[in-house]
Structure 1
Amino acid sequence: MSETALKSGAGPAPGPRNLITDVPGLAVGQAEDLGARTGVTVILPEARAVCAVDVRGGGPGTRETDALAPENLVEAVDAVVLSGGSVWGLAAADGAVAWLGARGRGFRLADRPGVPPSPVVPAAILFDLANGGDKAWGEDPPYRELGRRACAAAGADFDLGTAGAGYGAAAGGLKGGTGSASILSADGAVGALVCVNSWGSVTAPDGRTFWAAPFEIDGEFGGLPLDGLRAGPGQWGPSKAPPPAGARQNTTIACVATDVALTPAQARRLAVMAQDGLARAIRPVHAPFDGDVVFALSTARHPLIGGDAALARLGALAADTLARAVARGVFEATAWPDAPPGEGPPAWRDRRG
């Protein structure tokens, strides 16, 4: 929807790409290692952006999230990195830091010759180590290089599904992936990007109807009727195997963004509200063996008008948009190209019947 249409009262609608990059001032880059069945996604603002984080999962893996607390020194970041690879994947942020630092980007504690800026790059990882890819990388895991490559590839358009940090993911009993969505409203633009590697199910017990179906716009993840959207207590749909087999192999990591200028505390509230999008799209979620993390970015292209009421509306939109992004990531996912028939989780599009 154009800004003209918004001003005419037509109501919120997805942006032209239906991606987080519909938020002005953002680019996204991705890189994969097909042999290792893993990848990296980088959200790259044009200028340093206010950032906050909300961590709900019981087993998170993160970098520099403490620096994002509203009371701390650094109020803005240079990129956000989402990566596969569990603990090894945190090195993807090293690649992003190197790429940004070589271009003179970062936080300047001492602005004088010979003192380089320090890029601030928070990161979160998911577990994709047990998906059958070649992880025999010894002392040279691929993630630093993947982080650098993802930065170099950043732009307005990027692939969904089996791509980036969602390349090696599994969403419950289905192939996981990278999803994104956007919404443009009179309060501002909101976008979401998510890498879905959840323990819980993204579909109802029928295995086809996405839990996020009530929030779908224009058939963006299949346009199925809501008839299958029902479940009794304890009926989740196709989740991963129960613990211990299915434990500690999960995590959904995400970033929401807006072009509205927010303080660090306001961005933190946006992240908190956006977490409900995961709860609308994944059942169960935030389990002891998930590491669910949601970042929130503000590119500050225009002021927040309307105070807390406007912030509440943006948070509600962020939650709905993140729920849509989860479903889109699984809807667009395909089987790994090197996987023989029957290996790995089935893709939703191969099971829909």
Structure 2
Amino acid sequence: MTGIRPGPRNLITDIGGLKVGQAHDARVRTGVTVVLPDRPAVCACDVRGGGPGTRETDLLAADTLVEAVDALVLSGGSVYGLGAADGVVAALGAAGRGYSVGEGAKPAPIVPAAILFDLANSGDKNWGDRPPYGELGRQALAAADRAFELGVAGAGYGAKAGTLKGGIGSTSLVDDSGIAVGALVAVNAVGSVVMPGSDAFWAWPFEIDGEFGGARPDPRRPMAPDDWGAAKASPALRQNTTIAVVATNVALTPAQARRLAIMAQDGLSRAIRPVHTLFDGDVVFALSTGARPLAEPWALTLSVLGERAANCLARAVARGVFAARG
């Protein structure tokens, strides 16, 4: 691939100024992933699934007051997992981070979140009235670093991708000019990430340097229109969901970041079949650290960034499941 390649880590943290922290509870079989920018980052969101669970996504609209976020949270636990953001907010606020309205007022950390459903994965969910997610959020925030684990980790710890083990995946792309795009995803989809009767991922055409095993489909095998392969046989509402973050070091407005999130959703369509169903709560956040200007003509540059984000997200889905299977 001339002029563009994965970054040195092939992770979303190849975007300068971003860290990722993760924590899990093996007994409960669940976990939390936190994306932490060094400074507030412009953020937008696109929701495509029919059963989403989110926090503070309305705040990310282009016509609202606050344009940047202090962190993003991806969590297992369904509605209970939204409490992971409480722990992150409390810790950031104690450290003096957050939106400030003036001297003497306590800062309000802006921490949107999205959750996936892992309540039926046989982990011990008998937590009474004290779910573990607030503490898991604190632990994930404290662990934030440039390097992080893929596969059975963080928000993907208890996930299932179709009939396969789901998990956390991440990839990046950096071009010769230094423009960078990356993706992070927790894969818990109804749909299959592999082709019928094959170990080849639907995302195989986008693989770089064997990053998810190098398996290729058998060209002699016919592909029936409704053959979804290793999809969940009996999906239930709100029991699935793929949640993701894409990021770039290019300066974007909230409206431009929203377009980046919309285009990035196509990466899920390239990697999961079926996707965006009523049984999923698919959500993609887009972050801009603003380190580099948006080159003119800006509309063309943004379109290129969106395509790269979709590419990264498709690869991240396959990479996460491949790591979880390993």
* 2:93 alignment partner AA: G
Q: How does 1:281-292 map to 2 (within 5 A)?
A: 281-292=271-282
Aligned equivalent of 2:171, options 181, 184, 190: 181
| TM-score for the superposition, normalised by structure 1 | 0.89
| Distance change >3 Å, CA 43–CA 230, structure 1 → 2 | farther
Give yes or no for contact 1:29–1:158 (8 Å, CA) kept in 2: yes
* 1:25 alignment partner AA: G
Structure 2: gaps of 5 or more residues: none
- Quote how far apart the aligned CAs of 1:247 are: 4.2
Indicate yes or no: 2:315 matched with 1:324. Answer: yes
- Quote how far apart the aligned CAs of 1:318 are: 0.1
CA distance in 1, matches of 2:222, 2:97: 49
| Distance change >3 Å, CA 230–CA 219, structure 1 → 2 | farther
Question: Is the partner of 2:7 in helix, strand or coil?
Answer: coil
Q: How does 1:266-281 map to 2 (within 5 A)?
A: 266-281=256-271
Cα deviation digits, residues 15-56 of structure 1 (max 9, x gap): 000000000110000000110000000000000000000000
CA distance in 2, matches of 1:279, 1:20: 20
CA distance in 2, matches of 1:313, 1:227: 31
Question: Is the partner of 2:316 in helix, strand or coil?
Answer: helix
* 2:12 alignment partner AA: I
Aligned equivalent of 2:19, options 27, 41, 60: 27
- Quote how far apart the aligned CAs of 1:232 are: 1.6
Cα deviation digits, residues 154-213 of structure 1 (max 9, x gap): 000000000000000000010000000000024710000000000000000024110000
Q: How does 1:289-304 map to 2 (within 5 A)?
A: 289-304=279-294
- Quote how far apart the aligned CAs of 1:289 are: 1.0
Aligned equivalent of 2:57, options 65, 85, 88: 65
Question: Is the partner of 2:4 in helix, strand or coil?
Answer: coil
Give yes or no for contact 1:199–1:247 (8 Å, CA) kept in 2: no
Cα deviation digits, residues 40-90 of structure 1 (max 9, x gap): 000000000000000000000000000000001110000000000000000
- Quote how far apart the aligned CAs of 1:248 are: 3.1
CA distance in 2, matches of 1:291, 1:120: 22
CA distance in 1, matches of 2:10, 2:233: 33
Give yes or no for contact 1:187–1:310 (8 Å, CA) kept in 2: no
Q: How does 1:114-125 map to 2 (within 5 A)?
A: 115-125=105-115
Structure 1: gaps of 5 or more residues: 1-8, 334-346
Aligned equivalent of 2:99, options 95, 107, 110: 107
* Percent pairwise identity: 67
- Quote how far apart the aligned CAs of 1:242 are: 2.9
| Distance change >3 Å, CA 331–CA 230, structure 1 → 2 | farther
Give yes or no for contact 1:184–1:190 (8 Å, CA) kept in 2: yes
- Quote how far apart the aligned CAs of 1:227 are: 2.8
Cα RMSD after superposing both structures: 1.3
Give yes or no for contact 1:194–1:254 (8 Å, CA) kept in 2: yes
| TM-score for the superposition, normalised by structure 2 | 0.97
Name the stretch that deviates more: 291-300 or 207-216: 207-216
Partner residue, 2:120? 130
Q: How does 1:3-14 map to 2 (within 5 A)?
A: 10-14=2-6
Give yes or no for contact 1:214–1:226 (8 Å, CA) kept in 2: no
Q: Could you list the runs of 4 or more consecutive aligned residues of structure 1 that deviate by over 2 angstroms after TM superposition?
A: 225-231
Cα deviation digits, residues 1-25 of structure 1 (max 9, x gap): xxxxxxxx94110000000000011
Give yes or no for contact 2:12–2:171 (8 Å, CA) kept in 1: yes
